[in-house]
Amino acid sequence: MRKGLFALAAVGLLATGGMAACGKDKSDDTGSGSGTKAGGKQVGIILPDTKSSQRWGTDDPKYLKAAFDAAGVSYDMQNAQGDKQQFQTIADSMISEGVKVLITVNLDSGTGAAVLAKAKQAGIATIDYDRLTLGGGANYYVSFDNVKVGQLQGQGLVDCLKAKNYTKPVVAELNGSPTDNNATLFAQGYDGVLNPLYTDGTLVKGPNRSVPDWDNATGGTYFEQMLTQNNKIKGVLAANDGLGNAVIEILKKQHLNGQVPVTGQDATVQGLQNILSGDQCMTVYKAIKKEADAASGLAISLAKGQKPTTATGTTTDPQSKATIPSVLLDPEAITKANVKDVIADGFVTKDAICTAALAKACTDAGIS
């Protein structure tokens, strides 16, 4: 099957070789929404939304752009703005534009798989970026060890609850989108840590809900309902920083922020600030530059008709049982003690994090 793909990629390159050679076209910016033009780009990239996490509107586009620009490979990067119809429309235009490679972050596996099937039919190589499209049959998958992300969150919450000396604290869980395979993997990771502790009575299992589309406002509404029904909640496993912040906003209204440890993910500016202020227990840093470099590296080889050699792992699609060549990166837990690592890695700047209100917290955390 992979042989077929490279044969197709090579034919595609031959057929459009002239166009690619003289098509020194500038790439669209993310979210330009301007559709695609004839004489198209070599790589199409569809990001999911700009609201569920800072990353999709800021970090991923920045690193992907840098990688493709450095390689001189043209690309068309657009954001579906949380709209599945829009996701498909963008994909259709990229396919008819003649991209050689399509990188997608699906909004759900159904629409994601439909797009991958169309791309495959058109001889376009496909890369699942960050989220695996169940039953989608992408040629490559680039992400993090997402079960480990969840384990770090679960362990982080347990550590923060221990530090508070709570006895049998009630833990609420606010999971990511039920249509995001990553959310399933995160939950697998943190429930693997929390379930035995519910069973042996160390922790008490509280309310547990999944938040459609990772919508932060919905997450806040859900948590407000949870807290109204159970004012003994002492810890919250929130699946990312956006949901964590929505929880913190509700806790603030009850003057409970800082007393109820809350987890997160993505090492967003807001998440890191919430950690420094003591309102958030931890976040998970996923080096998005590495993820973007891995995906763009694969795409650049494929666009040139070369066989990539960088996918060293594999992932089994739990739905189709297909084996997908993968790059799976390592996530890192971040607490107050190592916020400075995220700055040292160049993901965020001290200036962005250390506002006047957080100046002392930054100094205390060794951020100089």
* Helix/strand/coil for 103: strand
Burial of 78 (0-12, 13-18, 19+ CB in 10 A): buried
Q: Which is nearer to ligand BGC, 81 or 93 (CB)?
A: 81
Q: In this complex, which beta carbon is closest to ligand BGC, that of residue 182 or of residue 280? A: 182
- The dihedrals phi and psi of 22, each to the nearest 5 degrees, come to -95, -5
CB atoms within 10 A of CB 14: 10
Which is closer to ligand BGC, CB of 88 or CB of 153? 153
Instruction: Provide the minimum distance between the beta carbon of 125 and ligand BGC in the complex, in angstroms, as a whole number.
Output: 22
Q: Which is nearer to ligand BGC, 81 or 240 (CB)?
A: 240
CB 249 within 8 A of CB 333: no
Give Cα separations from 72 to 45, 49, 161, 303, 304 (angstroms). 16, 26, 50, 11, 11
Residue 6 Cβ, how far from ligand BGC at the closest point, in Å? 29
Q: Which of 235, 245, 180 is nearest to 207 (CA)?
A: 235
User: What's the closest the beta carbon of residue 184 comes to ligand BGC, in angstroms?
Assistant: 10
Q: Which chain residues interact with ligand BGC by CB under 6 A?
A: 52-53, 55, 130-131, 176, 180, 182, 214, 240, 265-266
* CA dihedral for 32, 38, 40, 44, sign (positive or negative): positive
Name the minimum Å distance from CB 103 to ligand BGC.
14
In this complex, which beta carbon is closest to ligand BGC, that of residue 133 or of residue 240?
A: 240
Smallest separation (angstroms) from ligand BGC to the CB of 84: 15
Residues contacting 246, CB < 8 A, separation 6+: 216, 217, 219, 220, 223, 238
CB of 196 to ligand BGC, least distance (A): 25
Nearer residue to ligand BGC within complex by CB, 27 or 146: 146
Q: Is 43 helix (H, G, I), strand (E, B) or coil?
A: strand
